[in-house]
A and B are shown apart, each in its own frame.
Chain A
Amino acid sequence: MSSVLYDNPGPRAKRRNVLYTVGFLAVLAVLAWWVLSALADKGQLDADKWSPFVTDVRVWTTYLLPGLVETLKAAALSILIALPLGALLGIGRLSDHRWVRVPVGTVVEFFRAIPVLLLMMFASAVYAQFTPVSSDFRPLYAVVTGLVLYNASVIAEVVRAGVLSLPRGQGDAAVALGMRKGQTMLYVLLPQAVTVMLPALVSQLVVIVKDTALGGALLGFPELLSQNRQITANYGANTIATFTVIALIFIAVNFALTTLAGWLERRLRQGRKTAGVTESAVTKTGEAPAEAVSGA
């Protein structure tokens, strides 16, 4: 589409593009110079602030890798619990019975409207007051609880959209074969919906990984971000270097997940002709499709 917006550049347009490139490069260079000189002023570019990440293996084994493990542990636990719960809620919202559909819908909408951070703080306080969970594990419990409550409701919506995107004939055919409602859902609709919604689910994993950092900043969960305090305390106030490395690790993990989601989507689109799965409901009303939810 983007190439439709402008003609193939002729001689004049080429010259103009070169001019724009040089101008933009100048702006970027000024910005970079301004940032670097500010960093140099505060001594943040000194080699000894950056070298521990390359020379000292203990930065990785004591702080960064254990932090990453905590992050991934919380993310994995959350998705493993949220998936079945979300599927149940999603199916519940599609129920023929009003007394199931309405309460489930209320629960889903409630947890989707509330910031994850509030859920985490509330869960942490509840665990502290009413359960014997030791304070060592409380942050992990609180983070996972908050993430499960929020993401189960998001997954419920993904499941619902996936099932609704299937052609009516699939459900009708299953009913015509004499299947019960549960069988129709379990053997006919859900397996097809899962393939449609797989990319959206992997994208949701990115949101979960990112949200674990909330627990590190506010609940004392020892995940990747929270390691910055110890590293900067032990390696001479190398705040910039530490944040750069931590951010890059997060970006690498999430970029891998995003790439996986994109690859799955392409695979599924190719396989669709033969697998008998139809394309997801594309809006034809001139509205852009709603993208994956942008979490914290």
Chain B
Amino acid sequence: MFDFLDSGQYDLLGAFWVTAQLALYSAIGSLIWGTALAAMRVSPVPLMRSFGTAYVNFVRNTPLTVVIVACSLVLDQTLGVTLGGSDFKEIGFRLAILGLVAYTGTFVCEALRSGINTVPPGQAEAARALGLSFFQVLTLVVLPQAFRAAVTPLANVLIALTKNTTVAAAISAAEAAFLMKEMIENEAQALFTVFAIFAFGFIVLTLPTGLALGWAAKRLAVKR
């Protein structure tokens, strides 16, 4: 039943390693981009506020598949943006990260804003009374508390991101869903085994993340 796994034809661990890398790099990127977006959306400069709002509303309502496929067809094949990748798998990998960051950043931004909303106004008022500037209020007082409050929504975003990495299969990044498509075609007699293996792989990737961050959310939440 499992003999096709021993043939060495399929690099299961390699594929899941690519999935994990996609998730990790995109998570770091979207955390940074999402924080920047959230900062723009609460900033005193009206133009930045409206840019942040417009970006979030547009990108969040676009299907991730459209974003990722556009990364490949528009950026790579029309405009020749390859992000320094040499073969099509590498280019797909890098463009997928770009698309995932652009898309997931909006959800990080919204999670952070809900975190900012839990910080009592007195905190920011006290900080302003001390003479801190907007940037200082945000980075020294509000955001540290907002991040601690936003662990649960951010964890949900991370889990959704891990599952969303499968969309990269649409532009031939060599990750788990891409390998599963290949295996389903070649090993039709072992369809259920193949599905079980990949389902198990994703449960292994997402379940511990959820549990660990759920624990962290309880530990980190600011007791008020």
A residues apposed to B, CB below 8 Å? 1-2, 4-7, 9, 13, 17, 20-21, 24-25, 28, 38-39, 42, 44, 110, 113-118, 121-122, 125-126, 129, 206, 209-214, 216-218, 225, 228, 237, 239-240, 243, 246-247, 250-251, 254-255, 258, 285-291, 293-296
A118 to B76, CA, bound (A): 26
A42 touches B118 (CB 8 A): no
Please give me the residue from chain A that is nearest to B199 by CB atom.
A114
B199 touches A294 (CB 8 A): no
The secondary structure that dominates the B interface is: helix
A291 to B153, CA, bound (A): 6
A4 to B123, CA, bound (A): 9
Nearest Cβ on chain A to B164's Cβ, whole angstroms: 5
Nearest Cβ on chain B to A296's Cβ, whole angstroms: 4
Please give me the residue from chain A that is nearest to B41 by CB atom.
A2
Nearest Cβ on chain A to B39's Cβ, whole angstroms: 10
Q: Which of A211, A239, A246, A288: most chain B CB closer than 10 A? A: A288
B202 touches A250 (CB 8 A): no
B111 touches A288 (CB 8 A): yes
Q: Which of A4, A17, A24, A240: most chain B CB closer than 10 A? A: A4
Q: A5-B42, A285-B221, A296-B164 are in contact. List 9 more A-B contacts (CB 8 A).
A: A113-B203, A121-B180, A122-B184, A206-B61, A251-B61, A286-B118, A286-B149, A288-B117, A294-B160
B63 touches A225 (CB 8 A): yes
A288 touches B44 (CB 8 A): no
B79 touches A20 (CB 8 A): no
- Judged by a CB distance under 8 angstroms, whether B24 is at the interface is no
B79 touches A296 (CB 8 A): no
A residues near B77, Cβ cutoff 8 Å: 239
Please give me the residue from chain A that is nearest to B217 by CB atom.
A287
Closest 8 CB pairs of A and B: A254-B61, A210-B63, A213-B65, A213-B63, A217-B170, A115-B163, A2-B42, A288-B114
- Judged by a CB distance under 8 angstroms, whether B26 is at the interface is no
A210 to B67, CA, bound (A): 11
With A117-B167, A243-B66, A296-B164 given, is the CB distance from A288 to B61 under 8 Å? no
Nearest Cβ on chain A to B98's Cβ, whole angstroms: 14
Please give me the residue from chain B that is nearest to A210 by CB atom.
B63
B42 touches A286 (CB 8 A): no
A246 touches B66 (CB 8 A): yes
A178 to B138, CA, bound (A): 56
Name A5's contact: one of B74, B110, B142 (CB within 8 Å). Answer: B142
A214 touches B167 (CB 8 A): yes
B residues near A288, Cβ cutoff 8 Å: 111, 114-115, 117-118, 149-150, 152-153
Sample (19) of A-B pairs whose CB atoms are under 8 Å apart: A1-B116, A5-B138, A21-B48, A24-B51, A39-B79, A42-B80, A44-B78, A115-B202, A129-B188, A210-B61, A213-B65, A250-B62, A251-B58, A251-B62, A287-B152, A291-B153, A294-B156, A295-B160, A296-B163
B45 touches A38 (CB 8 A): no
Nearest Cβ on chain B to A147's Cβ, whole angstroms: 13
Q: Which of A38, A110, A286: most chain B CB closer than 10 A? A: A286
A288 to B198, CA, bound (A): 32
Nearest Cβ on chain A to B15's Cβ, whole angstroms: 12
With A250-B61, A296-B63 given, is the CB distance from A286 to B221 under 8 Å? yes
Nearest Cβ on chain B to A152's Cβ, whole angstroms: 16
With A39-B79, A254-B61 given, is the CB distance from A21 to B66 under 8 Å? no
Nearest Cβ on chain B to A23's Cβ, whole angstroms: 9
- Judged by a CB distance under 8 angstroms, whether B134 is at the interface is yes
A residues near B202, Cβ cutoff 8 Å: 113-115, 118
B166 touches A287 (CB 8 A): no
Nearest Cβ on chain B to A15's Cβ, whole angstroms: 12
B199 touches A118 (CB 8 A): yes
A291 touches B118 (CB 8 A): no
